[in-house]
Structure 1
Amino acid sequence: MNPLPAPPTIVEVRPDADEALARSLLAVQHAAYAVEAAMIGDDRIPPLRETVADLREASLRWLAAFAADLPGVKPGVEPRPVGAIAWSEDDTTVDIDRLVVDPAAHRRGVGRALVGAVLARAGVRRVLVATGRANRPARRLYESLGFTAIGDEEVIPHLWISRYALH
Protein backbone atom coordinates (compact mmCIF):
# COMPACT_ATOMS: atom_id res chain seq x y z
CA MET A 1 0.00 0.00 0.00
CA ASN A 2 1.33 3.46 -0.89
CA PRO A 3 1.68 5.83 2.05
CA LEU A 4 -0.43 8.97 2.05
CA PRO A 5 1.43 12.01 0.78
CA ALA A 6 2.83 14.33 3.42
CA PRO A 7 0.80 17.51 3.77
CA PRO A 8 2.40 20.46 2.02
CA THR A 9 4.18 23.18 3.96
CA ILE A 10 2.26 26.41 3.45
CA VAL A 11 3.89 29.79 3.95
CA GLU A 12 3.00 33.38 3.17
CA VAL A 13 5.15 34.68 0.32
CA ARG A 14 5.85 38.02 -1.34
CA PRO A 15 6.40 37.61 -5.09
CA ASP A 16 6.55 41.40 -5.38
CA ALA A 17 9.78 41.31 -3.34
CA ASP A 18 11.36 38.17 -4.84
CA GLU A 19 11.69 37.83 -8.60
CA ALA A 20 12.92 34.22 -8.49
CA LEU A 21 9.90 33.23 -6.41
CA ALA A 22 7.63 35.15 -8.78
CA ARG A 23 9.09 33.21 -11.73
CA SER A 24 8.47 29.90 -9.91
CA LEU A 25 4.89 30.90 -9.06
CA LEU A 26 4.26 32.00 -12.63
CA ALA A 27 5.49 28.64 -13.95
CA VAL A 28 3.04 26.83 -11.66
CA GLN A 29 0.28 29.28 -12.60
CA HIS A 30 0.82 28.82 -16.33
CA ALA A 31 0.92 25.01 -15.99
CA ALA A 32 -2.23 24.95 -13.85
CA TYR A 33 -4.22 27.27 -16.11
CA ALA A 34 -3.08 25.34 -19.19
CA VAL A 35 -4.78 22.28 -17.67
CA GLU A 36 -7.93 24.30 -16.98
CA ALA A 37 -7.86 25.78 -20.50
CA ALA A 38 -7.76 22.28 -21.99
CA MET A 39 -10.56 21.18 -19.65
CA ILE A 40 -12.88 24.06 -20.52
CA GLY A 41 -11.84 24.26 -24.18
CA ASP A 42 -10.75 27.90 -24.00
CA ASP A 43 -7.28 29.36 -23.46
CA ARG A 44 -8.40 32.97 -22.90
CA ILE A 45 -8.02 32.69 -19.12
CA PRO A 46 -6.37 36.00 -18.12
CA PRO A 47 -3.82 34.56 -15.62
CA LEU A 48 -2.61 32.23 -18.37
CA ARG A 49 -1.36 35.34 -20.19
CA GLU A 50 0.30 37.04 -17.22
CA THR A 51 3.97 37.95 -17.19
CA VAL A 52 6.33 37.99 -14.20
CA ALA A 53 5.84 41.76 -14.03
CA ASP A 54 2.03 41.34 -13.99
CA LEU A 55 2.21 38.77 -11.20
CA ARG A 56 4.58 40.91 -9.12
CA GLU A 57 2.41 44.02 -9.56
CA ALA A 58 -0.87 42.37 -8.57
CA SER A 59 -2.22 43.76 -5.29
CA LEU A 60 -2.75 40.35 -3.73
CA ARG A 61 -1.71 38.41 -0.67
CA TRP A 62 -0.09 35.05 -1.41
CA LEU A 63 0.41 31.68 0.21
CA ALA A 64 2.59 29.06 -1.44
CA ALA A 65 2.66 25.32 -0.84
CA PHE A 66 5.91 23.39 -0.81
CA ALA A 67 6.05 19.59 -0.86
CA ALA A 68 9.15 17.44 -0.57
CA ASP A 69 7.58 14.12 -1.59
CA LEU A 70 6.69 14.85 -5.21
CA PRO A 71 8.37 13.24 -8.20
CA GLY A 72 11.26 15.35 -9.40
CA VAL A 73 11.90 17.02 -6.02
CA LYS A 74 15.45 16.16 -5.01
CA PRO A 75 16.54 16.06 -1.36
CA GLY A 76 18.80 18.94 -0.40
CA VAL A 77 17.62 21.16 -3.26
CA GLU A 78 15.79 24.35 -2.35
CA PRO A 79 12.10 23.53 -2.58
CA ARG A 80 9.99 25.03 -5.32
CA PRO A 81 6.31 25.86 -4.91
CA VAL A 82 3.87 23.17 -5.99
CA GLY A 83 0.86 25.40 -5.53
CA ALA A 84 -0.24 28.86 -4.55
CA ILE A 85 -3.31 30.85 -3.67
CA ALA A 86 -3.74 34.60 -3.93
CA TRP A 87 -6.51 36.81 -2.59
CA SER A 88 -7.60 40.31 -1.75
CA GLU A 89 -9.45 41.21 1.41
CA ASP A 90 -11.19 43.90 3.37
CA ASP A 91 -12.99 43.97 6.72
CA THR A 92 -15.96 41.92 5.50
CA THR A 93 -14.81 39.88 2.50
CA VAL A 94 -11.96 37.68 1.32
CA ASP A 95 -11.91 37.28 -2.47
CA ILE A 96 -9.80 34.37 -3.71
CA ASP A 97 -8.31 35.58 -6.98
CA ARG A 98 -6.51 32.40 -7.99
CA LEU A 99 -5.71 28.89 -6.82
CA VAL A 100 -3.00 27.12 -8.81
CA VAL A 101 -1.51 23.67 -8.34
CA ASP A 102 1.31 22.13 -10.33
CA PRO A 103 -0.21 19.33 -12.44
CA ALA A 104 2.35 16.92 -10.88
CA ALA A 105 0.73 17.66 -7.51
CA HIS A 106 -2.92 17.24 -8.54
CA ARG A 107 -5.05 15.04 -6.28
CA ARG A 108 -2.55 15.27 -3.41
CA GLY A 109 -4.45 17.73 -1.18
CA VAL A 110 -2.43 20.82 -2.14
CA GLY A 111 -5.41 22.87 -3.35
CA ARG A 112 -7.55 21.85 -0.37
CA ALA A 113 -4.75 22.78 2.04
CA LEU A 114 -4.26 26.18 0.41
CA VAL A 115 -7.97 27.03 0.45
CA GLY A 116 -8.17 25.81 4.06
CA ALA A 117 -5.32 28.12 5.03
CA VAL A 118 -7.13 31.11 3.52
CA LEU A 119 -10.39 30.10 5.20
CA ALA A 120 -8.58 30.00 8.56
CA ARG A 121 -7.32 33.55 7.93
CA ALA A 122 -10.77 34.73 6.83
CA GLY A 123 -12.41 34.05 10.17
CA VAL A 124 -16.06 35.15 10.02
CA ARG A 125 -15.67 37.14 6.81
CA ARG A 126 -17.45 36.11 3.62
CA VAL A 127 -15.18 34.28 1.15
CA LEU A 128 -15.70 34.52 -2.61
CA VAL A 129 -14.13 32.49 -5.40
CA ALA A 130 -14.73 31.84 -9.11
CA THR A 131 -13.63 29.11 -11.49
CA GLY A 132 -14.30 28.04 -15.04
CA ARG A 133 -17.87 26.76 -15.27
CA ALA A 134 -16.65 23.55 -16.93
CA ASN A 135 -13.86 23.01 -14.36
CA ARG A 136 -15.60 20.22 -12.47
CA PRO A 137 -12.65 19.31 -10.19
CA ALA A 138 -12.38 22.90 -8.91
CA ARG A 139 -16.14 23.18 -8.47
CA ARG A 140 -16.21 19.89 -6.52
CA LEU A 141 -13.38 21.15 -4.28
CA TYR A 142 -15.16 24.41 -3.42
CA GLU A 143 -18.50 22.66 -2.88
CA SER A 144 -16.86 20.06 -0.61
CA LEU A 145 -15.50 22.91 1.51
CA GLY A 146 -18.98 24.38 1.98
CA PHE A 147 -19.03 27.02 -0.75
CA THR A 148 -22.41 27.70 -2.36
CA ALA A 149 -22.84 28.49 -6.05
CA ILE A 150 -24.10 32.05 -6.47
CA GLY A 151 -24.24 32.23 -10.25
CA ASP A 152 -22.55 31.90 -13.59
CA GLU A 153 -21.19 34.80 -15.63
CA GLU A 154 -19.97 35.13 -19.19
CA VAL A 155 -16.82 37.22 -18.52
CA ILE A 156 -15.84 37.47 -22.18
CA PRO A 157 -17.80 36.06 -25.13
CA HIS A 158 -18.20 32.28 -24.69
CA LEU A 159 -15.99 32.14 -21.54
CA TRP A 160 -18.12 31.28 -18.53
CA ILE A 161 -17.17 31.23 -14.87
CA SER A 162 -19.07 29.97 -11.85
CA ARG A 163 -19.01 32.14 -8.74
CA TYR A 164 -19.11 30.72 -5.22
CA ALA A 165 -19.47 32.16 -1.72
CA LEU A 166 -18.88 30.88 1.78
CA HIS A 167 -20.54 32.88 4.55
Structure 2
Amino acid sequence: MIISKIQLQDVFQSKLLLEVQQAAYQVEAALIGSTAIPALKEDLETLQNCGETFYGYWIEDSLAGAISYKREGEVLDIYRLVVHPYYFRRGIGKALVRFIEEAEDHIKKIIVSTGTKNLPAKKLYEVLGFRETGEREVMPGLWITLFEKWR
Protein backbone atom coordinates (compact mmCIF):
# COMPACT_ATOMS: atom_id res chain seq x y z
CA MET A 1 0.00 0.00 0.00
CA ILE A 2 1.17 3.47 -0.86
CA ILE A 3 -0.48 6.88 -0.90
CA SER A 4 0.87 9.18 -3.58
CA LYS A 5 -0.15 12.23 -5.56
CA ILE A 6 -2.21 11.52 -8.66
CA GLN A 7 -0.93 13.36 -11.71
CA LEU A 8 -4.11 14.42 -13.51
CA GLN A 9 -2.26 15.12 -16.75
CA ASP A 10 -1.16 11.48 -16.84
CA VAL A 11 -3.96 9.94 -18.91
CA PHE A 12 -3.47 6.46 -17.41
CA GLN A 13 -3.76 7.73 -13.83
CA SER A 14 -6.73 9.96 -14.70
CA LYS A 15 -8.57 7.09 -16.37
CA LEU A 16 -8.04 4.88 -13.32
CA LEU A 17 -9.28 7.70 -11.09
CA LEU A 18 -12.36 8.20 -13.25
CA GLU A 19 -13.18 4.48 -13.02
CA VAL A 20 -12.85 4.42 -9.22
CA GLN A 21 -14.83 7.64 -8.90
CA GLN A 22 -17.70 6.37 -11.05
CA ALA A 23 -17.88 3.04 -9.19
CA ALA A 24 -17.89 4.79 -5.80
CA TYR A 25 -20.43 7.45 -6.75
CA GLN A 26 -22.79 4.82 -8.21
CA VAL A 27 -22.94 3.32 -4.71
CA GLU A 28 -23.56 6.75 -3.17
CA ALA A 29 -26.25 7.47 -5.77
CA ALA A 30 -28.08 4.32 -4.67
CA LEU A 31 -27.73 5.32 -1.00
CA ILE A 32 -29.06 8.84 -1.46
CA GLY A 33 -31.64 7.96 -4.12
CA SER A 34 -30.29 10.34 -6.75
CA THR A 35 -27.89 10.20 -9.69
CA ALA A 36 -27.51 14.00 -9.63
CA ILE A 37 -23.95 13.75 -8.31
CA PRO A 38 -21.91 15.96 -10.67
CA ALA A 39 -18.77 13.79 -10.50
CA LEU A 40 -20.83 10.80 -11.65
CA LYS A 41 -21.25 12.43 -15.05
CA GLU A 42 -17.73 13.81 -15.33
CA ASP A 43 -15.55 12.97 -18.32
CA LEU A 44 -11.77 12.69 -18.51
CA GLU A 45 -11.17 16.23 -19.74
CA THR A 46 -13.34 17.79 -17.03
CA LEU A 47 -11.61 15.72 -14.35
CA GLN A 48 -8.16 16.69 -15.61
CA ASN A 49 -9.09 20.39 -15.47
CA CYS A 50 -10.93 20.45 -12.13
CA GLY A 51 -8.18 22.32 -10.26
CA GLU A 52 -8.20 19.93 -7.29
CA THR A 53 -5.20 18.21 -5.69
CA PHE A 54 -5.58 14.42 -5.69
CA TYR A 55 -3.90 11.65 -3.73
CA GLY A 56 -4.48 8.00 -4.44
CA TYR A 57 -4.34 4.91 -2.28
CA TRP A 58 -2.58 2.24 -4.33
CA ILE A 59 -2.56 -1.48 -3.65
CA GLU A 60 0.13 -2.81 -5.97
CA ASP A 61 -0.93 -1.44 -9.38
CA SER A 62 -4.58 -0.92 -8.46
CA LEU A 63 -6.03 2.42 -7.45
CA ALA A 64 -8.23 1.50 -4.50
CA GLY A 65 -9.31 5.00 -3.50
CA ALA A 66 -8.62 8.70 -3.84
CA ILE A 67 -9.13 12.01 -2.10
CA SER A 68 -9.14 15.50 -3.54
CA TYR A 69 -9.15 18.94 -2.03
CA LYS A 70 -8.64 22.62 -2.57
CA ARG A 71 -6.95 24.87 -0.10
CA GLU A 72 -7.83 28.48 0.59
CA GLY A 73 -5.51 30.00 3.14
CA GLU A 74 -5.80 27.96 6.32
CA VAL A 75 -8.95 26.10 5.19
CA LEU A 76 -8.75 22.72 3.50
CA ASP A 77 -11.91 21.81 1.59
CA ILE A 78 -12.24 18.10 0.80
CA TYR A 79 -14.02 17.84 -2.54
CA ARG A 80 -13.99 14.09 -3.11
CA LEU A 81 -13.32 10.96 -1.13
CA VAL A 82 -13.86 7.82 -3.19
CA VAL A 83 -13.10 4.17 -2.56
CA HIS A 84 -13.72 1.47 -5.14
CA PRO A 85 -16.53 -0.77 -3.81
CA TYR A 86 -14.22 -3.81 -4.02
CA TYR A 87 -12.10 -2.17 -1.29
CA PHE A 88 -14.90 -0.97 1.01
CA ARG A 89 -14.50 -1.43 4.79
CA ARG A 90 -10.71 -1.68 4.74
CA GLY A 91 -9.90 1.71 6.28
CA ILE A 92 -8.88 3.32 2.97
CA GLY A 93 -11.12 6.38 3.32
CA LYS A 94 -9.91 6.94 6.86
CA ALA A 95 -6.26 6.57 5.77
CA LEU A 96 -6.70 9.09 2.95
CA VAL A 97 -8.29 11.73 5.19
CA ARG A 98 -5.60 11.27 7.82
CA PHE A 99 -2.91 11.49 5.14
CA ILE A 100 -4.01 14.89 3.87
CA GLU A 101 -4.46 16.16 7.41
CA GLU A 102 -0.74 15.52 7.89
CA ALA A 103 0.39 16.44 4.37
CA GLU A 104 -0.83 20.03 4.48
CA ASP A 105 0.83 22.39 6.94
CA HIS A 106 -0.77 25.36 8.69
CA ILE A 107 -4.36 24.22 8.30
CA LYS A 108 -6.80 25.52 10.92
CA LYS A 109 -10.02 24.06 9.55
CA ILE A 110 -11.04 21.20 7.28
CA ILE A 111 -14.48 21.16 5.69
CA VAL A 112 -16.31 18.44 3.81
CA SER A 113 -19.84 17.53 2.76
CA THR A 114 -21.64 14.36 1.79
CA GLY A 115 -25.11 13.25 0.83
CA THR A 116 -27.35 13.39 3.90
CA LYS A 117 -28.53 9.83 3.29
CA ASN A 118 -24.95 8.54 2.91
CA LEU A 119 -24.76 7.14 6.43
CA PRO A 120 -21.40 5.31 5.99
CA ALA A 121 -19.69 8.55 4.90
CA LYS A 122 -21.30 10.55 7.71
CA LYS A 123 -20.14 7.98 10.25
CA LEU A 124 -16.61 8.05 8.83
CA TYR A 125 -16.35 11.82 9.21
CA GLU A 126 -17.70 11.67 12.76
CA VAL A 127 -15.19 8.95 13.69
CA LEU A 128 -12.43 11.17 12.28
CA GLY A 129 -13.45 14.03 14.56
CA PHE A 130 -15.54 16.11 12.20
CA ARG A 131 -18.57 17.92 13.59
CA GLU A 132 -21.80 18.24 11.66
CA THR A 133 -22.57 21.92 11.02
CA GLY A 134 -25.80 21.71 9.06
CA GLU A 135 -27.61 20.53 5.99
CA ARG A 136 -28.26 22.20 2.67
CA GLU A 137 -30.59 21.37 -0.20
CA VAL A 138 -28.40 21.58 -3.32
CA MET A 139 -31.27 20.82 -5.70
CA PRO A 140 -34.90 19.93 -5.12
CA GLY A 141 -34.98 16.84 -2.92
CA LEU A 142 -31.19 16.41 -2.75
CA TRP A 143 -29.65 17.27 0.62
CA ILE A 144 -26.04 17.34 1.74
CA THR A 145 -24.67 17.39 5.26
CA LEU A 146 -21.82 19.79 6.04
CA PHE A 147 -18.96 18.93 8.39
CA GLU A 148 -15.96 20.77 9.78
CA LYS A 149 -12.95 19.97 11.89
CA TRP A 150 -10.84 22.57 13.68
CA ARG A 151 -7.21 21.90 14.43
| Percent of matched pairs sharing the same residue | 38
Higher-Rg structure is 1
**Match of 1:102, as an amino acid?**
H
The answer as to 2:84 corresponding to 1:102 is yes
What is aligned with 2:5? 12
SS in 2 for 1:24: helix
Contact 1:153–1:160 under 8 Å retained in 2: yes
What is aligned with 1:84? 66
CA distance in 2, matches of 1:18, 1:80: 15
Give me the CA root mean square deviation. Answer: 1.0
What is aligned with 1:49? 41
The equivalent position to 1:24 in structure 2, one of 16, 20, 29, is: 16
Structure 2: runs of 5+ lacking an equivalent: none
The answer as to 2:96 corresponding to 1:114 is yes
Following superposition, which runs of at least 4 residues in structure 1 exceed 2 angstroms of deviation? 121-125
CA distance in 1, matches of 2:92, 2:66: 9
Structure 1: runs of 5+ lacking an equivalent: 1-7, 69-78
CA distance in 1, matches of 2:148, 2:62: 31
Compare the two structures and name the one with the higher strand fraction: 2
What is aligned with 1:126? 109
What is aligned with 2:75? 93
CA distance in 2, matches of 1:22, 1:163: 27
